Amino acid sequence: MRFVTRALATAALSSRPWVTARALSIGTVAASRHSTVGMSEFSHPLPGGILVKEHELSVPLDHEDPSGECLTLFVREVVKAEKQSDKLPYLLFLQGGPGFPAPRVSAPPSGWMKSALEKHRVLLLDQRGTGRSTPATPQHITAMGDPARQAEYLALFRADAIVKDCELVRSVVAGGEKLSLLGQSYGGFCILSYLSFFPASIERALFTCGLAPVGQPIDDVYRATFRRMEQRNARFYRRYPGDIELVRSLARTLDAAPADLPRGGRLTARRFLQLGLLLGSESGLETLHDLLELARAPGAPDNALPELFLVGVENAQAAFETNPIYWLLHESIYCDGAGSASGWAAERVQASLGPAWDYRTRLAEGDPPIFLTGEMVYSWMGEDYAGLRALKPAAELLARKADWPELYRPSELGTGEARCAALMSYDDIYVERQYSEATAGMLRWCRTWVSNEFQHSGLRDQGARVFEKLLAMAKGEVEY
């Protein structure tokens, strides 16, 4: 459920005195040695009149084994300087992904954060495996041991573990106060897990394009996603009809002879078509078109693609390698309980859709347009992406894993007291809107805002407006 807000560096903090927090007892999230927290003082005021504090918590790798291995969890707390001493509610932001850190703080703040800071202390969590929390990079994962050990380790990085981390954050950083939550895309999936396991911990929950398809079989999820991608491809080609033959020409060239990429990967036709991932944001059609036109840049040697184009493709797809959780665990976010192995579902569903989704049937000039794919992940990425090759055996084990723990409890979703509000993009290519509407119906109290004004990136594109309206909806000040 990919959407990562633009990262901006924050100022360095002045000091890092270490303190020890009190012992905890939070249901299954207990054990005093996991509540030790490293905490900085607030920074000096940054432009925009904000203060920033850093927290580092030691949390169990496996919350079912609190005496075992530990991870570091990083949280950044942001507050307006003039409100530093005020008793403000906490708003915890959960990032999209899976596998991406929280946004970094801009100074002065902008977008949704500027609005949130008027009435909240904002907590920015680097979910386990991301950012300044204990990482799950290729370097770190391969050092864990053999593929079986790697897969066992990575299986503990899903939403069911993330929300137990959040409970420790709530107790240690927020003093046990109820939290308000803002979840973008996969962050909303995590909110649903939080509402399932710890409903009493949440005051309000705001979803931006992130109501998970609770109870939907994974193959049905991908069939819906491919249908949305057909529509988005059609929109792209209507806007840029000249790109129909350009995409075809590039696919034909790469099918015959994959190109070597600067950082060691191979640009095959199938990898090239993954650039359709760009089409899910407000500016995605232009971003993709601008990248494709670099393939026409002059000066390349005979039978070679321009270096600018190859570097551009590599940059556009870099997050697959820097944040491998997205590839390794993406399909598992739809595996809810025992017997739910993913088995490379997107690959299986695409193959079942016939010639329309087989680019090799459309390589001749004048054939129907070739479809670009979306957020799907594939087994062959462990061959085409240099940074993923060492992780392919572990990825195969995770794809076959069938004993996943549950992610959601519909009975709890239907009885919780938290006030919820959700923005849904009408033709979202990442999170199927019809399934999101069904999930909203499972919640006891959820107001919905369905709009074709926004793409999946609505929180980034019009953050203040989206946040303020959802908050007002959750408070009961407006209905829609």
Catalytic site includes residue 403: yes
Query: Which is catalytic among the residues 43, 185, 193, 425?
Result: 185
**Which ranges of 240-283 would DSSP assign to H, the alpha helix?**
243-256, 269-272
For Cα atoms 347, 348, 354, give the angle at the middle one, nearest 5 degrees.
95
Query: Which is catalytic among the residues 86, 146, 290, 403?
Result: 403
CB-CB contact of 210 with 458 (8 Å): no
Residues 208, 187: Cα–Cα separation, whole Å? 9
Residues 311, 119: Cα–Cα separation, whole Å? 43
Give the DSSP per-residue string, 136-160: --HHHHHTT-SHHHHHHHHTT-SHH
For Cα atoms 133, 332, 161, give the angle at the middle one, nearest 5 degrees.
40
Q: Residue 28 gets which letter from DSSP?
A: T
Residues 88, 203: Cα–Cα separation, whole Å? 13
Catalytic site includes residue 456: yes
Catalytic site includes residue 44: no
Residue 139's identity, in one-letter code, is Q
Query: String of b and e for 256-280 (b: at least 16 CB within 10 Å)?
Result: eebbebeeebebbbbbbbbbbbbbb
Please compute, for residue 283, the number of CA atoms within 13 A of its CA located in the half-sphere on the CB side. Answer: 7
Kindly give the pairing relationship between strand 25-26 and strand 29-30. antiparallel
Tokens of 479: 């209905």
Known catalytic residues?
185, 403, 456
